[in-house]
Structure 1
Amino acid sequence: MNEIRISSPDGAAATISLFGAHLMSWKTADGKERLFLSQRSALDGSAAVRGGVPVIFPQFATRGDGLRHGFARTATWRAVGQGDSWAELALAQSDLPAATFKTWPRAFELRLRFELKGNTLALRYIVRNSGMQDFQWAGALHTYFAVADFAQATLDGARFDGALDEIRPATPVLRLDTGAGTLQLEQQGFSEWVVWNPGAEGAAATADMDDGDFRRFVCIEPARVDKQVLAAGAEWTGHHTISLIP
């Protein structure tokens, strides 16, 4: 995979793949990896990556008649800007192979910006309708957070219990105790938080995940789960900011 690496003066670093605009790694200034990435995930562009931050567009899960979680996570994006501590990637209708375009023939442009600011990672997700007709879309930043032990991790003080697949109304801030530090999660523009973990049975039934991997992560993703209309010529922006709390 073609990758972009960014870093900040304090030692924080991130790696982004052009395949799916996928955030593969985020290490805070203490050198600790804050994202989970399955060792069994295909990393050759043949399938969506299991872990990191998959980009969901234009459909969430199977809530529609298109590809599960859409095509953005398996498309090849373009790098359109980069500095030492930031990078921005783009995907447009013209970047899609013909077979994908036939399944969703609408003019659009996606932009995803990653920026490191000390022990904070800021993501900005832009969806533009560059065509002459309205379209409906859903999306998310499907973040896999690394935890020391899923059974001991807490979200806003509450411990997790078994497999999870929860859709919660959006709140500005959540706090995740990973067992290796507390992360503050903030979002703007999205309408839900999705909290997910497959549990033991789900992990065992998932080909690109080791049986015990469910103990090592929890997904907490800012999302727009149900499709909503974006008018012709209009633009939507969502923000997802993750900070390590001292």
Structure 2
Amino acid sequence: MSESIFGELPAVTICAADGAQATVTLYGGHLVSWRTSDGQERLFCSRASSLDGSRAIRGGVPVIFPQFGARGTGMRHGFARVATWQLASSGDADGAAYAEFVLHHTDLPEAIAAAWPCAFTLRLRVAVKAQALELNLSVHNTGEQAFPFSAALHSYFAIDQLNEARVGGLQRVRYSDETPQDALQTEELLQFADKLDRIYYQLPGALSLLSGGHTLRLEQQGFTDAVVWNPGAQDAAALPDLADDEYQHFLCIEPALIQPDLLAAGAGWTGRQRLEFV
């Protein structure tokens, strides 16, 4: 483990013995780089993103908590991605390098804390080895009252070209998008022409992302749902922290808990994602 700087943000870089590495900024507990042992960067970060702590980072893996999107009265996608986390521990286990980051309710800025009067501890564990990355996000209610929460890992994966990417594992899975009625996916492989924004509910198993001759296997536990998103040309042009052409080179596939879960006082929840190129 070594301290580093990403843009203007303090960060931590972990490196496995085989060369796999990951970089996480303390701002947001945000995974901004994942390089497999062959040296390939597997995550997308926009060249137009602010990297000074003034707003959430566009790319990498933002931590979404305690609200998904605008599904609530709080900050869009929650405050975890714009709060400052602490490094709790780091080391090596079974050839994998790992680091664990923690965010307590007492770490929140006063204005955010006033809008979220619930005591909690949020932990993120990042581990890399060879062609694999494991992410564990856990929430512990340290207060005396139950609170509802949603959570997601808003992963931006680097791809060669949007119209050539394919996502498998979603056939016959129910989804919702911008249309009024839910639908069932019929295609074996999801393809992309332009904008797509879907929430898939109750995944039955692992997903796969096919791009550039490579296959990424995505497994998740605890997270019941998945979000597949790309803004397309028109929406990308309206995003100030995304260059107009960049939408063609990433795809978001997010393990998510969309329907808020009620976490009892003293209780905990954990969501896990394992990613591996096969």
CA distance in 2, matches of 1:153, 1:219: 12
Out of 138, 159, 164, the position equivalent to 1:126 is: 138
Report the alpha carbon displacement of residue 30 of structure 1 after superposing the two structures with TM: 1.2
Deviation per CA, 1:88-145, whole angstroms, max 9, x where unpaired?
A: 0000111111111011010000000000122110001101111000000011000000
Q: What TM-score, normalized to structure 2?
A: 0.86
Out of 192, 211, 225, the position equivalent to 2:225 is: 192
CA distance in 1, matches of 2:145, 2:13: 37
Q: Tell me, yes or no, if structure 1 residue 91 matches structure 2 residue 124.
A: no
CA distance in 1, matches of 2:259, 2:27: 25
- In structure 2, the partner of 1:117 is 129
Q: Tell me, yes or no, if structure 1 residue 160 matches structure 2 residue 172.
A: no
Question: Secondary structure at the residue paired with 2:251?
Answer: strand
Deviation per CA, 1:199-226, whole angstroms, max 9, x where unpaired?
A: 0001001000011111000000000112
Out of 10, 21, 31, the position equivalent to 2:29 is: 21
Q: Tell me, yes or no, if structure 1 residue 49 matches structure 2 residue 57.
A: yes
Unaligned runs of 5+ in 1: none
Report the alpha carbon displacement of residue 158 of structure 1 after superposing the two structures with TM: 3.1
CA distance in 1, matches of 2:242, 2:213: 22
Question: Secondary structure at the residue paired with 1:2?
Answer: strand
Does the 8 A contact of 1:63 with 1:226 survive in 2?
no
Question: Secondary structure at the residue paired with 1:31?
Answer: coil
Question: Secondary structure at the residue paired with 2:32?
Answer: strand
Larger radius of gyration: 2
Q: What TM-score, normalized to structure 1?
A: 0.98
CA distance in 2, matches of 1:44, 1:83: 28
Question: Secondary structure at the residue paired with 2:265?
Answer: coil
Report the alpha carbon displacement of residue 181 of structure 1 after superposing the two structures with TM: 1.5
Does the 8 A contact of 2:120 with 2:142 survive in 1?
yes
Out of 76, 84, 100, the position equivalent to 2:84 is: 76
Report the alpha carbon displacement of residue 180 of structure 1 after superposing the two structures with TM: 5.0
CA distance in 1, matches of 2:164, 2:63: 28
Question: Secondary structure at the residue paired with 1:194?
Answer: strand
Out of 55, 58, 61, the position equivalent to 2:69 is: 61
Alignment: residue pair count: 245
Question: Secondary structure at the residue paired with 1:229?
Answer: strand
Alignment of 1:28-47 (within 5 A): 28-47=36-55
**RMSD, matched Cα:** 0.9
Q: Tell me, yes or no, if structure 1 residue 141 matches structure 2 residue 173.
A: no
Does the 8 A contact of 1:147 with 1:180 survive in 2?
no
Taking every aligned residue pair, what percent have the same amino acid on both sides? 50
Question: Secondary structure at the residue paired with 2:111?
Answer: helix
CA distance in 1, matches of 2:245, 2:64: 25
Does the 8 A contact of 1:11 with 1:29 survive in 2?
yes
Report the alpha carbon displacement of residue 8 of structure 1 after superposing the two structures with TM: 1.2
- In structure 1, the partner of 2:174 is none
CA distance in 2, matches of 1:108, 1:117: 30
CA distance in 2, matches of 1:115, 1:56: 19
